[in-house]
Amino acid sequence: MKPWQPLGIDQTKLSVAADVTCPLANVIEMSGNRVKELVTDVSRIAAIERLLHEQVDEIGNPITKETRNYNYVASITEDTPGFLGVDEYRAAHLGLIDFPDQISSSGFAAWPWCFTPTCGTTST
């Protein structure tokens, strides 16, 4: 049986400088500012979503492969300061039956919000 992950992936130890600290507050603030900039610059996203769905065996080899395209729109709003809303739409009103293996994905447009300074305190 062949494992799915590359050989030795867990054997490599990356080097890090022992005497360097991470300025966490600065990283959170700067990434939060970039997310706020994203909300300002891109309040509505329209795209063609390309879905690749594969069924794999117990060691990760593809058994079946299916590709579908969907018209996709995401709307980002900040009606109340610090509270971001993300709505996603696909052109067709799809039920789970319309997706391969009845698996639907949603919420990906909201991932950048986890980098806002208020995440975990006042963001939704």
- What are the pLDDT digits (tens) for 77-93? 877 877 778 888 887 66
Structure token digits, residue 26: 């600065």
Our measurement of the distance from residue 24's CA atom to the centroid of its chain's CA atoms, rounded to an integer in Å, reads: 22
DSSP H stretches of helix in 1-124: 24-41
How many other CB atoms are there within 10 angstroms of residue 96's CB atom? 9
CB 84 within 8 A of CB 116: yes
> Which pTM was predicted?
0.52
**Tell me: the pLDDT tens digits for 1-58?**
666 667 777 787 888 888 888 888 888 888 888 877 877 777 778 889 888 999 998 8
Closest CA to 106 of 118, 96, 97: 96
Flag whether pLDDT at 70 surpasses 90: no
